[in-house]
A and B are shown apart, each in its own frame.
Chain A
Amino acid sequence: MRAPDGILPLTTAGLGFSANGCEILRAVNLRVEEGPPTIIIGPNGAGKSVLLRLLHGLLAPGTGQVLWSGIADPAERQAMVFQRPVLLRRSVLANVAYPLSLRGVGRAEQQARAHAALDLVGLTALAKRPARRLSGGEQQRLALARAAALRPAVLFLDEPCASLDPAATRAVEQVVARLAASGTKIIMTTHDLGQARRLAGDVVFLHRGQVLEHRPADDFFTGPATGQASAFLRGELVW
């Protein structure tokens, strides 16, 4: 069953990327289906962020390609939240309304969707505040609200909790779980194994630019197939 404006499954064929003569990703063949969140894990420098940017189209592949399904314009059906939220120098509400206006959503509809999105992340009370005066956790929730208001089929999250304390991390995870439950496909990177366990439907284990494993989360966490993944799960220093 796929919604008429669905863009999944997402497949990559021989996806590779190099920068300054240094190979960052090599021959990545992935197939991402509808369903619970797909979590990309791996040590720092494995190429997680680059993979996410390639999938979202912010970077052009060096080799191979990213293929979306369906008839909808895939660019219009995706959104991304970055590790460090990029907030406009405007009010909280105006931040959520901005990308909606870019996509030609009418003014009344913008306001309604923005308020609903702020409600979802629990920032309604701060709607009129300058966005950049919020705390780190609030800023990340605002970035999530802004992405959610676009009603994307696929939402990319690049280490959304990397610099947040446990309470803020929990709040962000709750929003992510809510979005996933409402049918948004989450594709997220993290190096926090606990977070991966809490959220993942399936896990992509990335190591030195290559996908070593892509399996359902339960299988991966109970019995990783590769030595690198089991070392990573034991908390050893792999890179």
Chain B
Amino acid sequence: MNDLASAFTTAVSLVGTADPAVMRIVVLSLQVSLSATLIAALIGLPLGALLAVARFRGRGVVLAMLNALMGLPPVLCGLLVYLLLSRSGPLGALGLLFTPGAMVIAQTVLITPILAALARQVLEGLWEEYAEQLRSFGASPARAVPTLLWDGRFALLTVLLAGFGRASAEVGAVMIVGGNIDGFTRVMTTAIALETSKGDLPIALALGMILMAIVLAVNATAQALRDTAQRWAG
């Protein structure tokens, strides 16, 4: 119990003094997860919008697969990206394995289906409302995609935050493809796993507190955005 209390005190001072080692880990975590969220958004949101408006044979199968991919276990995602990027893999020549770039790729693969599936759900309701009016204006379904993305912007921001939350909280994928190399590919979640198993609780706790603070900030932002959307969209 005393151990825990002193660990907690040390953790608070690590956060309070902005310990350089801790800060480097936090910054890398944010860089990796924000980059992954950005890339996944550029792919996943238009894909989700397209699936919301398109009607084609096999659409049900595609949607079922997408929904299944939302539950892709991070370690499995990490393994697949590892196989792609490893020396003997198809993309091995890029030399990306055990770099932050590989971690971005793994998290992008992990959350793109989440963003696409959630965007599809959100935008399908909007499309039901807009479809007839847009057809009356002479807009094709393809032209409706940017309209839906813009008019659904507040709802899509919460979708983005969900993707970012998933990316920043996962440990399995970045552990496998990043390797948790000190000062290079160590992020908050992998550091917490390592420091805990080493018994260095203060650093693990400090990182855990920062991670919690980020998650809380993300959710508060999501809430504020929903309120703004309510005021705007009615």
Seen from chain A, the residues whose Cβ lies within 8 Å of a Cβ on chain B are 56, 58, 75-76, 79-80, 82, 86, 88-90, 98-99, 102-103, 130, 132-133
Contact = CB atoms under 8 A, between A and B. Distances in A.
Contacts of A130: 231-234
A82 B132 contact: yes
Contact of B233 (A76, A98, A132): A132
B110 to A, nearest CB: 30
Contact of B132 (A58, A79, A103): A58
Nearest to A131: B234
B139 A133 contact: no
> Secondary structure at chain B's binding surface: helix, strand, loop or mixed?
helix
24 contacts: A58-B132, A58-B135, A75-B138, A80-B136, A82-B133, A86-B129, A88-B147, A88-B151, A89-B152, A89-B153, A89-B232, A89-B233, A90-B150, A90-B151, A98-B137, A99-B138, A102-B137, A102-B138, A102-B143, A103-B138, A130-B231, A130-B232, A130-B234, A132-B234
A58 B150 CA distance: 24
Contacts of A75: 138
Contacts of B184: none
A220 to B, nearest CB: 29
A99 B133 CA distance: 10
Interface in B127-184: 129-130, 132-133, 135-139, 143, 147, 150-154
Contacts of A56: 136
B136 A79 contact: yes
Contacts of A102: 137-139, 143
Contact of B234 (A79, A86, A90, A133): A133
Contacts of B133: 82, 86
Interface residues of B, number: 20
Interface in B85-108: none
Chain A to chain B: the 4 pairs with minimum beta-carbon distance, closest first: A86-B133, A132-B234, A99-B137, A89-B151
Contacts of A82: 132-133
B141 to A, nearest CB: 13
Contacts of B234: 130, 132-133
A187 B132 CA distance: 18
Given A75-B138, A90-B150, 7 more contacts: A58-B135, A58-B136, A76-B138, A79-B136, A98-B147, A99-B137, A103-B138
Contact of B130 (A58, A80, A86, A103): A86
Nearest to B130: A86
A86 B143 contact: no
B195 to A, nearest CB: 46
A103 B137 CA distance: 8
Contacts of B138: 75-76, 99, 102-103
A130 B228 CA distance: 12
Contacts of B130: 86, 88
Interface in B45-87: none
A56 B133 CA distance: 11
Contacts of B150: 90
A90 B234 CA distance: 11
A99 B143 CA distance: 12
A130 B132 CA distance: 21
A1 to B, nearest CB: 27
A133 B139 CA distance: 25
B52 to A, nearest CB: 15
From B132, B136, B150, name the one whose CB has the most chain A CB atoms within 10 angstroms: B136
A136 to B, nearest CB: 12
A79 B136 CA distance: 7
Nearest to B136: A80
A133 B228 CA distance: 13
Contacts of B129: 86
Contacts of B152: 89
A133 B233 CA distance: 7
A130 B231 CA distance: 9
A159 to B, nearest CB: 14
